Amino acid sequence: MDWTRVVGLISGTSVDAIDVALADLRLVHNTVELAPLGHTDVAYPAELRAEFLAALPPNPCTAEQLCKLDTRIGQAFAEAATALGPADLVASLGQTIYHWVEGGHAHGTLQLGQPAWIAERTGLPVIANLRARDVAAGGHGAPLAGLFDRLWLSDGIALNIGGIANITVVSPDGTEDIAYDTGPGNALIDVAADMVSGRPFDEDGALAKAGTVRPDLLAVLLADPYYAQPPPKSTGKEHFHGTYLRHALSRVSPVDGPDLLATLVELTATTIADACGTHRADRVVASGGGVRNPTLMAALTRHLTAELVTSDELGIPGDAKEAYLTTLLGFLTWHGIPAHPPTGAAGPRLLGDITPGREPLRLPAPAGQNVTKMRVVATPGGARANS
């Protein structure tokens, strides 16, 4: 099979930037070969980011706001799609505004970033709305990174620390693979950083490092029923938000800024480690923005019984892993290969909707085999090569 060059786009629950990755992918027998060609992040326009955050639950959001945000985010993603050079295809995971979970089941999910704007700007076909079919098939639609992880790793646990933290448990024979959200990653830490310092995040974990964990607040936070729910499960900022944190703070005596940050770092580390500890694993492979927080990484190292390494050490930049995941999702759908992330769905499904580019839509012949592995490879000089 020839190489397909795919741009992957995503903005996570931290809403700090649009992550962009460019990759060449091809199918060799039952293995996807993925050659990373570069990645970057494109900051949201400040006004757009503020408008989006103001529309998140528990705040109200009108149909007018939703329409304008879908359009403006689509336009921002369209510009980001051009940042790394030419491609054959764009895949976009968009920007999640709401993830509907009740009684432990996902009932719906909504991502903004109208793909028509991306197709119009780039002239390329765009695969988007990649979560909804998984939800319709009984899955949680998140974390889709479980697909990437189960194809890439032979065993162990993959950890992503974005606004929400999630893990993928990869078993040697694949029979016990599962992926789920463990709880907040950076979501509450970022809210607290803004409350304390007026900055969107705690740079280098400096405030948290200067503080002391408050056991009373930590106990209130750990009492959240979400942590006791059995996996697969998913959550988001519709649950872990500023109002949630302020309610927890109202139940304890006043907490100063550094102690608040230290306690929230401890919450993230404890809930991740507790989840990892329920699965037998010798290694945890971490990625996501939380990896750049040395205070959080130190807390994780202290709590985990398994070895903690980063995805960078295995060839996938931690900052770009979910963008490379998006290139994989787009590649599979483009070639008619069903995806089966371990999120609870009834079986493999073709994920996403295709928006045609400037030329008439000409899909390649569907691949005649399923995919069971992914191998990260180097393409010398970024050259296009054929099998």
Identify any residues that bridge with 102 across adjacent strands, giving them in sequence order: 105
Cβ within 8 Å of residue 354, ≥6 positions away: 125, 126, 127, 333, 334, 361, 363
In this structure, the number of other CB atoms found within 10 A of the CB of residue 101 comes to 23
Task: Give Cα 192 to chain centroid, integer Å.
Answer: 21
Which pLDDT tens digit goes with each residue over 273-311? 999 999 989 999 999 999 999 999 999 999 999 999 999
In angstroms, the CA 152 to CA 311 distance is: 11
Alpha helices of the chain — where are they, by DSSP H? 46-55, 63-80, 115-122, 132-136, 145-152, 187-197, 206-210, 215-222, 242-249, 257-277, 294-303, 321-334
- pTM for this entry: 0.91
pLDDT computed for residue 232 by the predictor: 93
Overall average pLDDT of the 126-138 stretch: 97
Residues 261-276: pLDDT tens digits? Answer: 999 999 999 999 999 9
pLDDT band at 370 (very low <50, low <70, confident <90, very high): confident
pLDDT at 279: 94
353-370: burial string, b at 16+ Cβ within 10 Å, e else = ebbebeeeeeeeeebeee
pLDDT over 80 at 386, yes or no: no
DSSP class of 142: -
CATH number for the region 153-314 comes to 3.30.420.40
Per-residue pLDDT for 387 more than 80? no
Query: How much is the pLDDT for 15?
Result: 86
Q: Are 302 and 295 in contact (CB under 8 A)?
A: no
Cα–Cα nearest to 10, from 94, 127, 133: 94
pLDDT band at 181 (very low <50, low <70, confident <90, very high): very high
Domain parsing of the chain, residue ranges: 4-148+318-382, 153-314
CATH of region 4-148+318-382: 3.30.420.40
* For helices 215-222 and 257-277, angle between their N-to-C axes, nearest 10 degrees: 50
Q: Count Cβ atoms below 10 Å from residue 47 Cβ, excluding itself.
A: 9
pLDDT tens by residue, 322-362 = 999 999 999 999 999 999 999 999 999 999 999 999 999 99
